[in-house]
Amino acid sequence: MTAFRADPAEENTMTATDGSRAGERELLPVASAARVRAALRELARPHRTAALCGLAVLVAATGTGLLTAPVLGHVIDLVAQGRPASAVTAPVVWLAVIAVAQGTMTALGVSLVARLGEGMLATLRERFVDRALRLPLERVERAGSGDLTSRVTNDVSVITTAVREGMPSLARSVLTIGLTLVGLAILDARFALVALVAIPFQVHTVRWYVRHAVPLYAAQRVAVGAQQQRLLGTIGGASTVRALRLTGEHVGLVGRASQAAVDLALRGTGLVTRFYSRLNLAEFAGLSAVLATGFQLVRDGQVSIGTAGAAALYFHSLFTPINIALSLVDDAQAASAGLARLVGVAGVAGETDEDPREAPSRARGPVPHGPPIRVRGIGYAYRAGHPVLRDVSLDIAARERVALVGASGAGKTTLARLIAGVHRPDSGSITVGDAAPGPDGVPAGRHVALVTQEVHVFAGTLADDLRLARPGADDDELHAALERVGALAWARALPEGLETTVGENGHRLTPAQAQQLALARLVLADPPAVVLDEATAEAGSAGARVLETAAAAAIEGRTVLVVAHRLTQAASADRVVVLSDGEVAEVGTHRELVRAKDRYAALWEAWSDGRRP
């Protein structure tokens, strides 16, 4: 019995051992600014024509719009010169024509800019998902799965907002500002020069803002994330909270997390309002400078009153586009941070030997059904100096069913994951079939499927979910796979049968049904070898038996390694491997090991004690 005491430092605790304190997590990388720029250039390349056309049209639109002020100035001059009222009609007609032309061209230009931005965004998100799904699982786990999820949800949505709302208004604002200055210069170069008085105020304000806003918004994102996490934990565990009468405590915890987020949000508001207040100063400085200049020039007889009026109107109409452009600094900042995080992940895939173009399910060499698996002297540690497996060697014959047994913490799950190719051994090699091991001791290609207690029902129809495992499968094949794992009856009874939407926002499957679905996928994927880890543990004891029957059907004809929790699984296996403290302690058939009266026998004794009539 003592031999099975848990080794203090291992097995399934891996995410706890290196993931429990945020500081110890090795988050996925973030790309440098230069790499982000390069990635953007590359994304923009196919849309170059659309981008140039869009820009040209927008420049024309903005330029046309700027004709409004001089035409108004002309009206003022006509009035000042005491011309008859009918003289204003012609320039006013021009105002209307300008408006129609500007509207049309703006619509066209914005559409083209949107095509550029949206096209780039779509390519980027596709590329990200492609890389993310091909990341080595080990890498994802070191980072914590939340890292990847937050990139695919938060970062993508921040960039989407920036592209969808920020880009068109930024393009238009910047063009308006630029061309207005040009317009001012045409009226009189001195107007444009004094208008620049506002710039130092604006530059200073933006720099001040960015300096304060970046760390504050980072803290705010963390607080909002913590609030979300807290709510999800509390609400997801509501029935536990009620059962243990923890309601008051949890409302308090949610309140604290929410208050922290509120406080930071209000600090952010303080910052934003100060930002705009300071920009008002720039507006005032610029406007008074333009008015004073107009005064001077009119008095010296260098420009007409109309021109001075037009200049003032020009400058006044700059307020809004400048505010829009500067306020987008915020979005741009967030979007570029998100972009760096997305591009960063794309870089990881490049570092691994898992070629993104090669479908990992396809074997490099042909592997017959039920290949032998040879494990030679492998060692593995999640943390240096704390080996979980030490010099483990193991042979699984073709189509053999081997059960892996041992106390919690003996290294069962780790060994299972190594054989399934999720982790790379630190030393030793694993061979599946006749394929030679790769350079890192990983089995070449992926022939070993892994089914764990973690189930996920993909959002979409049940048929789509199943077809993930075999894209071309027809309905008969789907039915056969469901039948084999004993799931056809409930699948047919769903409101729309195989076409029922399941997963998030869809029909909710029970944990046992979800696990049966996982086994049906396994049948369809039809891998030569399988590792089952706690695949039947989650359903509770009554459901477990249904699942065990289903699992037995799904793995027939394959080479199988089962991480056994119920010793009945071990008793029915061809052979049993007992792991203890990261080493192979015993190997043999159930009968042999029971007769050997060693560790397995003790374990069996404990298990079957209460079972004997």
Partner 1 sequence: MRVPAGGRDVLRRAITGQWRHTAGGAALAAGHQAGEALVPVVIGLVIDEAIAPGDGGALARWIAVLALVFATLSLSYRFSYRAAERAAERAAHDLRLDLTARILQPRGGAETGRLPGELVAIATQDAKRVGAVHIALTAAIAALAGLLAGGVALLRVSVPLGLLVLLGVPPLLLLAHLLGRPLERRSGAEQERAAHASGVAADLIAGLRVLKGIGAEATAVDRYRRTSRDSLAATLRAARAQAWHDGGMLMLTGVFIAVVALVGGRLAAQGDISVGQLVAAVGLAQFLLTPLSILSWANGEFAQGRASATRIASVLAAPYAVTGGGDGLPLPVRGRVRLREVFCGALRGLSLEVAPGELLGVVTGDPEVATSLLRVLGRSADPSPGAVELDGVPLSGVDPAEVRRAVVVAEHDADLFEGTLLDNVAAAAATPEAVPAAMAASAADEVAGALPYGAATPLTERGRSLSGGQRQRVALARALAADPAVLVLHDPTTAVDAATEARIAAGVREARAGRTTIMVVTSPALLAVADRVVFTDGGPSAAVGTHAELVHDNETYRATVLA
Contacts of partner 1 in 40-69 (CB under 8 A) = 65, 68
- For the bound state, the minimum distance from the C-beta of residue 52 to partner 1, rounded and expressed in Å, comes to 18
Q: Which one among 195, 308, 396, 554 touches partner 1, defined by CB under 8 A?
A: 308
Q: Is 385 in the site for partner 1 (CB under 8 A)?
A: no
- The Cα–Cα gap between 8 and 175 comes to 65
Q: Which of 32, 49, 259, 302 binds partner 1 (CB under 8 A)?
A: 259
Is 555 a binding residue for partner 1 by CB under 8 A? The answer is: no
Identify residue 87 by its one-letter amino acid code.
A
Residue 162 DSSP symbol = I
Pick from 188, 331, 548, 581 the residue near partner 1 by CB under 8 A. Answer: 548
* Dihedral over Cα of 293, 299, 301, 306: its sign: positive
Give the strand order in the sheet containing 427-432.
Answer: 386-396, 373-383, 427-432
Which CB sits closer to partner 1, 193 or 313? Answer: 313
114/222 with CB nearer partner 1: 114
Does residue 247 touch partner 1 according to CB under 8 A? yes
Q: Which is nearer to partner 1, 154 or 427 (CB)?
A: 154
Residue number, 199 or 468, with CB nearest to partner 1 = 468
> Closest approach of Cβ 453 to partner 1, in Å?
6
> Does the footprint of partner 1 cover residue 464 (CB under 8 A)?
yes
Q: Which stretch binds partner 1 (CB under 8 A): 27-35, 305-313, 370-378, 432-440?
A: 305-313
Residue 540 is a binding residue for partner 1 (CB under 8 A): yes
Nearest approach in angstroms of CB 602 to partner 1 is 7
Number of residues forming the site for partner 1 (CB under 8 A): 196
Return the SS3 of 587: strand
Q: Is 152 in the site for partner 1 (CB under 8 A)?
A: yes
| Local structure of 26: helix, strand or coil | coil
Residues 6-25 that bind partner 1 (CB under 8 A): 6-13, 15-17, 19-21
How far is it, in rounded angstroms, from Cα 423 to Cα 11? 13
Within 491-543, strands assigned E span 501-502, 529-533
List beta partners, residue 561: 402, 531
Is 146 a residue that touches partner 1 (CB under 8 A)? yes
CB of 118 to partner 1, least distance (A): 5
Closest CB to partner 1 among residues 126, 377: 126
CA distance 347 to 162: 23
Site for partner 1 in 68-97 (CB under 8 A): 68, 72, 75-76, 78-80, 82-85, 87-89, 91-93, 95-96
Q: How far is the CB of 210 from partner 1 (least distance, A)?
A: 19
Q: Give long-range contacts, CB 8 A cutoff, 24+ apart: 607-613.
A: 607/567, 608/567
Alpha-carbon distance of 229 to 562, in angstroms, equals 34
The string of DSSP letters for 404-454 reads EE--TTSSHHHHHHHHTTSS--SEEEEEETTPPP-TTSPPSS--EEEEES-
Rule CB under 8 A: is residue 292 a binding residue for partner 1? Answer: yes
For the chain, report the end-to-end CA distance as a whole number of angstroms: 23
Rounded (10°) CA dihedral 305, 322, 272, 230: 150
> What does R_g of the chain's alpha carbons equal in angstroms?
34
Q: How far is the CB of 595 from partner 1 (least distance, A)?
A: 18
Separation of alpha carbons 473 and 524, rounded Å: 8
Among 45, 48, 211, 228, binds partner 1 (CB under 8 A): 228
- Can you tell me which of 139, 212, 221, 274 binds partner 1, judged by CB under 8 A? 274
Q: What's the rounded Cα separation, in Å, for the pair 116 and 407?
A: 58
Query: How many residues in the chain?
Result: 613
Residue 185 interacts with partner 1 (CB under 8 A): yes or no:
no
- Tell me if residue 505 falls in helix, strand or coil: coil
Torsion of CA 310, 312, 317, 322, to 10 degrees: 130
Q: CA-CA distance, 367 to 165, in Å (whole number)?
A: 52
Answer yes or no whether residue 140 interacts with partner 1 by CB under 8 A. Answer: yes
**Tokens linked to 158:** 């921040």
Task: For partner 1, give the closer residue by CB, 400 or 533.
Answer: 533
Which region, judged by CB under 8 A, interacts with partner 1, from 30-38, 101-109, 205-213, 324-332?
Answer: 101-109
Rule CB under 8 A: is residue 103 a binding residue for partner 1? yes
Q: Applying CB under 8 A, which part among 155-163, 174-182, 198-206, 574-582 lies near partner 1?
A: 155-163
In the complex, minimum distance from the CB of residue 377 to partner 1, in angstroms, rounded to a whole number = 25
Pick out residues in 191-220 that bind partner 1 (CB under 8 A): none
Nearer to partner 1, 41 or 299 (CB): 299
Site for partner 1 in 337-376 (CB under 8 A): 359-361
- Tokens describing residue 435: 């394929």
**Contact between residue 75 and residue 374 where contact means Cβ atoms under 8 Å apart:** no
Q: For residue 467, what are its two tokens?
A: 């077809």
If one asks whether residue 125 binds partner 1 (CB under 8 A), the answer comes out as yes
Q: For residue 234, state whether it binds partner 1 (rule: CB under 8 A).
A: yes
Q: In angstroms, what is the minimal distance from the CB of 53 to partner 1?
A: 14
By CB under 8 A, which span of 325-333, 450-458, 479-487, 584-592 interacts with partner 1?
450-458
Distance CA 209, CA 332 (A): 13
Alpha-carbon span 606 to 402, nearest angstrom: 21
Distance CA 120, CA 434 (A): 44
Decide: is 396 part of the binding site for partner 1 (CB under 8 A): no
DSSP state of 507: B
The distance of closest approach from Cβ of residue 469 to partner 1 in the complex, given in angstroms and rounded to an integer, is 5
Selected binder of partner 1 within 503, 550, 576, 582 (CB under 8 A): 503
